[in-house]
Amino acid sequence: MHMRILSTYAETISDGIGLRYAIYFAGCIHRCSGCHNPESWRADRGRIVDEVYLSEIIAEIQANPLLDGITLSGGDPFYDSSQLEKILKRLKKATNKNIWCYTGYTYEQLIADETMRACLTYIDVLVDGRFEKEQADPTLYFRGSRNQRILLLKNGLIVKEFHFEE
């Protein structure tokens, strides 16, 4: 595995519903104006995700019975989707936790690419779309701008779009 992780947060309540373990990946091609995490754009930062590091993360998740799930953010987790699929598969199998994933790609872009589409099988909730400064709204739940969607997935297909504000 060659992806890099900038940071992990063992317990967060701002990256999805419930108490979550958050993983922030390095690398992003979107470079959205007003991004909350521009230091994550460069793919050469952070720690390489090798077998040892991924096992450490899984052990941390397994050791905390209070966790409701795992959240992947960044950067963009889909920066290297072939590696992301391997990581998602391990996380899902080892923890059986629900997985949220934030990406600048839209669902439609992800399903159009075979490698990216394969990752969706392991993701339970997808927050999609680039952050758009003109549509930013601090009152939104779990997203930064109105164009972004919160999509419940099952086997990579949209089951429901969440609208917490309504």
Task: Tell me the pLDDT tens digit for each residue of 71-114.
Answer: 999 999 999 999 999 999 999 999 999 999 999 999 999 999 99
Q: How confident is the model at residue 163 (pLDDT cuts 50, 70, 90)?
A: confident
- Beta bridge partners of residue 73, listed in sequence order: 24
How many independent structural domains does the chain possess?
1
Q: How confident is the model at residue 164 (pLDDT cuts 50, 70, 90)?
A: confident
In whole angstroms, what is the distance from residue 122 CA to residue 26 CA? 20
Q: For residue 17, what is the domain's CATH number?
A: 3.20.20.70
Given its phi and psi angles, is residue 34 left (phi above 0), alpha (psi -120 to 50 degrees) or beta? left
Domain that holds residue 62: 4-162
Degrees, nearest 5: CA angle 127-101-113: 85
In whole angstroms, what is the distance from residue 96 CA to residue 62 CA? 10
3-class DSSP state for residue 14?
coil
Provide the token pair at 116. 């990216």
Is there a contact between 101 and 69 (Cβ–Cβ < 8 Å)?
Answer: no
pTM comes to 0.95
Tell me how far CA of residue 69 lies from CA of 1, 35, 55, in angstroms. Answer: 23, 24, 17
Q: Which residues lie below 8 Å from residue 62, measured CB to CB, with a gap of 6+?
A: 94, 95
Residue 38: the pLDDT is 86
In whole angstroms, what is the distance from residue 44 CA to residue 14 CA? 26
pLDDT tens digits, 18-46? 999 999 999 999 998 888 888 889 999 99
